[in-house]
């Protein structure tokens, strides 16, 4: 593998290096856990890697706990996410997804931004962020910023809405300050237990009032369609119901609604039939 590396430290240097590489072959690298494997499989000629690892802008590097939201910089690693108390308490589905990603060594360097920008339908943190209805903050090399809902950020398998001169700076996640209970989790099924991307995944974040009413539901599914999907009709089905009254017939109806969003393929890791069966069963299981 042979490529040039540029390591900007400030936003000005970043903008300069992006501008200098327009129309040329360049890629961003954060933790490089995806990028290096991709380049090993498919080496590219005359490539410049813009290494984001030395950027000192807190907007890329920090976790901010605001009143109605949590903002996470694109360069924050999976390990930092799992050790952050705000995320453990307010966004447990994201904590669980980050904690199940790959292995300790990979989590040490793998970033949340890399997990989103690689746009794999099996992205663990990405799946949790879709369930949480996060927004992506995108910075352009001319200094302009735009915000897109996470579902619109993914445009296909390994494709995002990012333009050539744009970079993901952070994600913003709405949080609930009402003190409602949260029933949430990340269920990941793979062919083995560790170092493995999912063959099916399900992220759920359900808010419940003190008198047991579901006020908000966010459900996302991974590895069963070209992009991670938000299961709107399943979320609508739950909203307004009494959580403790969801029995087996309601959970089956809920699981059937989730399947509407799945269009899995058969590949070397699992058949489409298997993925649908597993998705149906794990969907029901969240009420058991």
Q: Which two tokens stand for residue 231?
A: 């299961």
Q: How far is the CB of 102 from ligand FAD (least distance, A)?
A: 3
Quick note: the x/- pattern for ligand FAD over 27-66, rule CB under 6 A, is xxxxxxxxx-x--------------x--------------
Please identify, among the stretches 24-32, 172-180, 207-215, 250-258, the one whose residues bind ligand FAD according to the rule CB under 6 A: 24-32
- For residue 115, state whether it binds ligand FAD (rule: CB under 6 A): yes
Nearer to ligand FAD, 30 or 141 (CB): 30
- Residue 167's contacts (CB-CB under 8 Å, 6 or more residues apart) are 14, 18, 28, 52, 74, 138, 139, 140, 141
- For residue 199, state whether it binds ligand FAD (rule: CB under 6 A): no
Report d(CA 114, CA 132) in Å as an integer: 18
- For residue 197, state whether it binds ligand FAD (rule: CB under 6 A): yes
- For residue 216, state whether it binds ligand FAD (rule: CB under 6 A): no
- For residue 170, state whether it binds ligand FAD (rule: CB under 6 A): no
- For residue 168, state whether it binds ligand FAD (rule: CB under 6 A): yes
Q: For ligand FAD, which residue of 8, 123, 185, 218 counts as binding (CB under 6 A)? A: 123
């Amino acid at each position: 593998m042979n490529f040039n590396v540029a390591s900007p430290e400030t936003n000005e240097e970043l903008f300069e290096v992006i501008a200098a590489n327009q129309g040329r072959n360049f890629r961003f690298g954060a933790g490089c856990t995806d990028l290096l494997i991709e380049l090993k499989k498919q080496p590219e000629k005359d490539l410049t890697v813009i290494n984001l690892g030395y950027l000192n802008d807190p907007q890329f590097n920090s976790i901010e706990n605001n009143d109605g939201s949590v903002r996470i910089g694109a360069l924050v690693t999976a390990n930092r996410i799992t050790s952050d108390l705000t995320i453990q308490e307010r966004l447990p589905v994201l904590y669980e997804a980050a904690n199940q990603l790959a292995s300790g060594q990979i989590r040490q360097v793998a970033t949340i931004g890399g997990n989103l920008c690689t746009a794999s339908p099996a992205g663990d943190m990405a799946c949790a962020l879709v369930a949480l209805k996060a927004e992506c903050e995108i910075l352009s090399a001319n200094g302009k910023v735009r915000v897109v809902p996470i579902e619109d950020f993914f445009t296909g398998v390994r494709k995002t809405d990012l333009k050539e001169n744009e970079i993901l700076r952070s994600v913003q996640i709405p949080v609930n300050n009402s003190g409602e209970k949260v029933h949430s989790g990340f269920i990941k099924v793979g062919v083995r237990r560790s170092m493995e991307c999912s063959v099916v995944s399900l992220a759920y974040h359900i808010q419940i009032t003190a008198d047991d009413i579901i006020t908000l539901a966010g459900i996302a599914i991974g590895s069963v369609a070209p992009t991670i999907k938000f299961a709107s009709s399943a979320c609508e089905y739950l909203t307004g119901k009494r959580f403790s009254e969801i029995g087996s017939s309601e959970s089956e109806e809920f699981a059937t609604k989730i399947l509407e969003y799945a269009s899995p393929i058969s590949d070397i890791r699992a058949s489409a039939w298997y993925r649908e069966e597993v998705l149906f069963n794990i969907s029901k299981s969240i009420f058991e």
